[in-house]
Amino acid sequence: MRYRRNETLRYTFDEPLPAAFKLIKVDKKPVNSSMGSGRVIDISPGGMKLASDVHIPTSKTVHLFVTTSIAGQDLSFTAEVIWSKPARGQYHYGLDFIGDHHEEVIQSLKKHNQIKDKKPPED
């Protein structure tokens, strides 16, 4: 699978959103890791960029279970780690969602923008 950097909708958050994740599969072998914390930098209907202090080896096929909340809507995804790179003392990961999450991501982002647009400007 390839990273869809040119996907038509990719929303970058002004302030990355808190997320939690755990490894659920490494090279087709089920695993049950403890939950790690991260932050969602951007999201699209097909995947997300996740930042974390946790180093996830990408020399093998790794699947994660990721949870986050956008505009009060809890979202959960199963995703494959497509790429990783060190960034500012953390690691950034490109995740490709497994399954169709198009509608729930779009609806959450619409709600996020409605809430964001109603906030008074900061001085």
Q: What is the pLDDT of residues 15-38, one digit of tens each?
A: 999 999 999 999 999 998 999 999
Give CA separation, 113 vs 3, 11, 39, 64, in Å.
25, 10, 19, 27
Q: Which pTM value belongs to this model?
A: 0.85
Q: Tell me which residues of the chain have a pLDDT lower than 70.
A: 1-8, 119-123
Question: Could you give the CA distance from residue 123 to residue 112 in angstroms, rounded to a whole number?
Answer: 21
* pLDDT at 1 (0 to 100): 37
Residues 105-121 as b/e (b if ≥16 CB within 10 A, e otherwise) read: beebbeebeeeeeeeee
